């Protein structure tokens, strides 16, 4: 039966694709949670679904896991069509936000659960449980109950329980959100190490953009049930394809501008009374008219008000951050009235100082203003 399914799988299902999502969509009582999604997760890849709450990322994860049934579309895991396969036959591993450890079982029993359902012989089960507990550094906790463990330890048990069955895909549903900050970064490093050592295909759901940037091979940024951009962290951060991605990932300064003319990626535009000529990374620029100019804080610099191309602003607030200071500037041509940039802490300025903002000639992006959304 499996060969039959592979035979009807689309031609482009190559061996390096671990999960293929073909036009899968989902609505809940008339409300669209997920527009038809197309997505391929490569074998061994750490792919992050990033987006604000309600963007459909968890719905997509639940569809991959099989906890929800897709309204339409098809889903392949390791070239097998699994759209109709119940979750317990999908051979996936999942770590939940609240870990969902079985409270009535010891750590070892929790970890062994997936092996018992697969009728793995006792001796092998014991061996594999020992191995995986060593992997997550919990050898000495095998007989404890979950409630006797700290949050970080519980998470490792949850990870071990998912890993021990050698899943085809590991699904992570915001697993770090319950941990405090220090523990969180330690666990992120540890998880990433384990994941790449095992070469495990991983789909990770989070709303935390810095977590997504630091951990992922690729990120799919989602909003309103759609994937807005998919790419490596640096592609997402440096070359956001639209207004939403530019503001959701990283800090962004947005200026209301008028696009006068464009040739390829070079544009001439007016910001307030200042006329600028810029080269963007974009392949296609919007039509001339009102646009939004997007610039990262680190691309902006301070300059004299009399310099050509300088945009007038007034220091509103200077926030000391240790190695640098964040300058929040009042700027009439910024979309939300504010511009933020970072300067060395020694160059912080008093509120009320009038300054000029210099924009880079290369690197910013221009989006149609109408595309704004949350």
DSSP three-state, residue 5: helix
* Residue 94 makes contact with another protein by CB under 8 A: yes
Pairing of strands 202-206, 169-173: parallel
Nearer to another protein, 105 or 198 (CB): 105
Nearer to another protein, 165 or 267 (CB): 165
Tokens 């295909």 identify what position?
201
Nearer to another protein, 169 or 359 (CB): 169
Two tokens, residue 211:
């977590």
Q: Which stretch binds another protein (CB under 8 A): 43-51, 52-60, 101-109, 209-217?
A: 101-109
- Smallest distance, another protein to C-beta of residue 82, A: 13
Q: How many residues of this chain interact with another protein, rule: CB under 8 A?
A: 28
Nearer to another protein, 89 or 214 (CB): 89
Among 14, 38, 88, 122, interactor with another protein by CB under 8 A: 88
* Residue 92 makes contact with another protein by CB under 8 A: yes
8 A C-beta contact, residue 99 and residue 88 = no
* Residue 151 makes contact with another protein by CB under 8 A: no
* Residue 178 makes contact with another protein by CB under 8 A: no
Q: Which stretch binds another protein (CB under 8 A): 114-122, 214-222, 254-262, 332-340?
A: 114-122
Q: Which stretch binds another protein (CB under 8 A): 3-11, 15-23, 99-107, 124-132?
A: 99-107
Q: What is the DSSP string of 49-88?
A: EE--TTSSHHHHHHHHHTSS--SEEEEEETTEE-TTS-GG
Nearer to another protein, 66 or 233 (CB): 66
Alpha-carbon gap, residue 250 to 284, rounded angstroms: 22
Continuous H helices in the chain: 2-8, 57-65, 107-117, 122-135, 151-163, 181-198, 209-215, 233-238, 243-248
- Cα separation values, 10 from 19, 84, 354, Å: 13, 17, 61
Among 8, 104, 121, 182, interactor with another protein by CB under 8 A: 104
- Smallest distance, another protein to C-beta of residue 98, A: 6
Distance, C-alpha 48 to centroid of its chain: 4
Tokens 């050509």 identify what position?
308
Query: DSSP secondary-structure letter at 266?
Result: E
Angle between helical axes of 122-135 and 107-117 (0-180°, round to 10):
130
Nearer to another protein, 171 or 205 (CB): 171
* Residue 9 makes contact with another protein by CB under 8 A: no
- Smallest distance, another protein to C-beta of residue 71, A: 15
- Smallest distance, another protein to C-beta of residue 67, A: 6
* Residue 65 makes contact with another protein by CB under 8 A: yes
Query: 311 pairs with which residues across the strands?
Result: 357
Among 40, 91, 239, 243, interactor with another protein by CB under 8 A: 91
Torsion of CA 197, 203, 204, 210, to 10 degrees: 80
Q: Which residues bind another protein (CB under 8 A)?
A: 65-67, 86-94, 96, 98, 100-104, 113-114, 117-118, 147, 161-162, 165, 171
């Amino acid at each position: 039966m499996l060969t039959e399914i592979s035979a009807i799988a689309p031609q482009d299902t190559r061996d390096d694709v671990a999960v293929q999502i073909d036009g899968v969509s989902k609505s809940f009582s008339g409300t669209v949670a997920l527009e038809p999604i197309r997505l391929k997760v490569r074998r061994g890849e750490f792919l992050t679904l990033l987006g604000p709450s309600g963007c459909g990322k968890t719905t997509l994860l639940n569809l991959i896991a099989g906890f929800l049934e897709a309204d339409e579309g098809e889903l392949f895991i390791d070239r097998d069509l699994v759209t109709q396969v119940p979750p317990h036959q999908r051979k996936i591993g999942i770590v939940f936000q609240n870990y969902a450890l079985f409270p009535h079982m010891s750590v070892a029993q929790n970890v062994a659960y997936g092996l018992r359902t697969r009728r793995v012989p006792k001796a092998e089960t014991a061996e594999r449980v020992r191995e995986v507990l060593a992997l997550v550094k919990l050898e000495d906790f095998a007989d404890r109950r979950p409630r006797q463990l700290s949050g970080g330890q519980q998470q490792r048990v949850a990870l071990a329980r998912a890993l021990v069955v050698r899943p085809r895909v590991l699904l992570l549903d915001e697993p770090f959100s319950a941990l405090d900050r220090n523990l969180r970064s330690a666990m992120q490093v540890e998880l990433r190490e384990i994941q790449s050592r095992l070469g495990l295909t991983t789909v990770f759901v989070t709303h935390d953009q810095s977590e997504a940037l630091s951990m992922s091979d690729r990120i799919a940024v989602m909003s309103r049930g759609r994937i807005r951009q998919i790419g490596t962290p640096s592609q997402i951060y440096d070359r956001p394809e639209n207004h939403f991605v530019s503001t959701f990932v990283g800090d962004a300064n947005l200026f209301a501008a008028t696009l006068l003319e464009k040739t390829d990626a070079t544009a001439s535009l007016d910001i307030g009374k200042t006329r600028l000529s810029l080269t963007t990374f974009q392949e296609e620029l919007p039509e001339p008219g009102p646009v939004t100019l997007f610039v990262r804080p680190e691309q902006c610099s301070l300059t004299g008000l009399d310099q050509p191309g300088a945009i007038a602003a007034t220091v509103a607030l200077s926030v000391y951050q240790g190695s640098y200071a964040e300058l929040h500037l009042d700027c009439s041509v910024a979309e939300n009235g504010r511009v933020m940039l970072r300067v060395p802490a020694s160059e912080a300025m008093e509120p009320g100082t009038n300054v000029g903002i210099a924009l880079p000639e290369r690197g910013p992006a221009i989006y149609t203003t109408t595309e704004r959304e949350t």
